[in-house]
């Protein structure tokens, strides 16, 4: 059982945790901000039902996480000295503690690199500005985990398993030359796939169909587990590219497909194998060490549309099952993850990805399993268009509380919480932090961890 987090309420005020208050409002039928009419449950796919939400009731135990993205230095800047890194990271965890967050999801492997000394991956360019360049005599990950734990924050080591770049102006041969000699991609160009994007840029990623890539990912995970007391290993939503990659992996398909599966089935099996291998790697470490490290994934919010798959959701958007070959529902049902955080970055009134229908679908997906469900919420979207009002995220949190299987929230991203980009986003943050998270909450456990 987890220890009580620092700052939890004394018993005399414990009852206050279960009363609604302030900015979170009362029972109400939600209105579409663009039409003023009641929100339709499933957008254009379910128009008869409307959506209502109860008062917000603060829970004594729930996930309150935030992603800190290092790729492109979205949420955390570059540093060449330990003092500056320490100062800025302490500011991050102090802010999170004051705001009553209880978990940090820090990106330690943005692009086949590392924010820690590694035998398998070079130092990240997003740490110092140059790939392969370290901060002298300093281990950033050891420092970050220790400082997070001092403040009662869980530390989830966030990795992207495959991505080599996020889109470059030059092709594979030229780009690989720019990488550090320790880079797995540079050392193994035959294991790197290249896709030309609609923008004209080139996206590179490790080939999921190659067994050596799976071993590299597992070795990377094992290295973190053996050297750092992280609370979880966390993958984001990038597997195969979202865009059509054609037949760029045809050689691997012919060589590594003894069962003669279809291309789609083979690709899906490749990602399955990586997820299964990582889960087994984490489980084996837990058995050896007696620790309880969790493994979780934050996938794209739509597994499949009901029109394409009878088990799918009332949606009409891109489908991770078919576009990225990521069977996230299958991983949940098989227990290959300990928690799942679907990125439900759409509002209630969205026409083809309505929030209520999706939240219900994911709640049903984890029903009967031991997998925890947290919801990924896109704070960065607030204020971007009229459909995204300041109250949207709190209304989503209110709706989640009607779903027995939803155990909290993870927000994208840190910058948007503490440096809001517009007035509406700032108001949305206030509604969450001041109106809802007025008191600390303990983290839920992970019953699937073994």
pLDDT single digits (tens) 416-450 = 999 999 999 999 999 999 999 999 999 999 999 99
Q: Is the pLDDT assigned to residue 18 strictly greater than 70?
A: no
pLDDT, tens digit, for every residue of 155-197?
999 999 999 998 999 999 999 999 999 999 999 999 999 999 9
- The count of domains in the chain is 1
Whole-angstrom Cα distance, residue 3 to residue 86? 26
Decide if 9 is inside a domain.
no
Q: Is the pLDDT assigned to residue 11 strictly greater than 80?
A: no
Whole-angstrom Cα distance, residue 35 to residue 208? 45
Q: Determine phi and psi for 220, rounding to 5 degrees.
A: -65, -45
Mean pLDDT over each residue of the chain, to the nearest integer: 94
Decide if 10 is inside a domain.
no
Whole-angstrom Cα distance, residue 406 to residue 26? 20
Rg from Cα positions in the chain:
22
Q: Which residue has the higher pLDDT, 23 or 444?
A: 444
Domain range holding 68?
22-157+225-237+255-433
Decide if 104 is inside a domain.
yes
pLDDT at 13: 32
pTM: 0.94
What percentage of the chain carries pLDDT values higher than 90? 93
Matching residue, tokens 């509380």: 401
Whole-angstrom Cα distance, residue 137 to residue 156? 24
pLDDT, tens digit, for every residue of 337-375?
999 999 999 999 999 999 999 999 999 999 999 999 999
- Helix ranges, 178-262 (H): 184-187, 211-227, 250-255
Question: Which residues touch 362 (CB under 8 Å, ≥6 apart)?
Answer: 340, 342, 344, 373, 375, 405, 406
Decide if 419 is inside a domain.
yes
pLDDT, tens digit, for every residue of 267-313?
999 999 999 999 999 999 999 999 999 999 999 999 999 999 999 99
Decide if 41 is inside a domain.
yes
Helices (H) and strands (E) in the chain, counts: 14, 12
pLDDT, tens digit, for every residue of 368-396?
999 999 999 999 999 999 999 999 999 99
Decide if 5 is inside a domain.
no
Decide if 324 is inside a domain.
yes
Decide if 245 is inside a domain.
no
**CATH number where 304 lies:** 3.20.20
């Amino acid at each position: 059982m987890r220890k009580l987090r620092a700052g939890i309420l004394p018993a005399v005020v414990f009852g206050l945790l279960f009363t609604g208050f302030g900015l979170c409002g009362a029972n109400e039928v939600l209105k579409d901000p663009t039409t003023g009419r009641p929100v339709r449950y499933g957008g254009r796919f379910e128009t008869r039902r409307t959506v209502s939400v109860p008062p917000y009731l603060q829970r004594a135990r729930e996930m309150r996480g935030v992603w800190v993205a290092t790729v492109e230095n979205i949420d955390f800047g570059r540093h060449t000295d330990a003092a500056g890194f320490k100062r800025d990271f302490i500011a991050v965890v102090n802010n999170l503690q004051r705001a009553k967050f209880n978990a940090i999801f820090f990106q330690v492997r943005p692009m086949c690199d590392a924010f820690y000394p590694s035998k398998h991956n070079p130092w990240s360019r997003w740490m110092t500005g140059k790939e392969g360049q370290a901060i002298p005599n300093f281990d950033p990950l050891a420092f970050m985990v220790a400082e997070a734990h001092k403040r009662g924050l869980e530390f989830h080591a966030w990795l992207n398993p495959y991505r080599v770049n996020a889109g470059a102006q030059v092709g594979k041969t030229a780009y690989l030359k720019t990488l550090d000699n320790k880079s797995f991609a540079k050392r193994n160009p035959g294991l790197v796939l290249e896709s030309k994007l609609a923008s004209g840029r080139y996206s590179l990623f490790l080939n999921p169909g190659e067994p050596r890539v799976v071993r590299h990912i597992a070795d990377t995970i094992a290295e973190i587990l053996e050297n750092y007391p992280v609370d979880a290993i966390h993958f984001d939503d990038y597997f195969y590219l979202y865009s059509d990659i054609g037949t760029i992996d045809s050689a691997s398909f012919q060589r590594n497909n003894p069962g003669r599966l279809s291309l789609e089935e083979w690709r899906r099996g490749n990602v399955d194998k990586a997820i299964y291998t990582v889960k087994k790697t984490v489980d084996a470490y837990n058995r050896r060490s007696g620790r309880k490290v969790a493994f979780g994934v934050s996938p794209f919010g739509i597994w499949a549309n009901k029109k394409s798959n009878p088990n799918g959701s009332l949606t009409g958007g891109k489908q991770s099952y078919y576009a990225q070959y990521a069977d996230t529902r299958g991983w949940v049902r098989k227990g290959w993850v300990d928690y799942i955080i679907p990125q439900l970055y759409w509002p209630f009134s969205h026409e083809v990805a309505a929030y209520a229908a999706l939240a219900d679908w994911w709640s049903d997906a984890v029903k009967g399993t031991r997998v925890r469900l947290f919801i990924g919420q896109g704070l960065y979207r607030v204020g971007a268009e009229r459909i995204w009002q300041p109250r949207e995220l709190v209304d989503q949190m209110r709706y989640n509380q009607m779903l027995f299987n939803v155990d909290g929230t993870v927000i994208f991203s840190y910058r948007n919480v503490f440096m809001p980009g517009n007035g509406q986003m700032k108001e949305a943050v206030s509604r969450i932090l001041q109106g809802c998270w007025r008191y600390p909450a303990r983290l839920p456990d992970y019953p699937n961890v073994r």
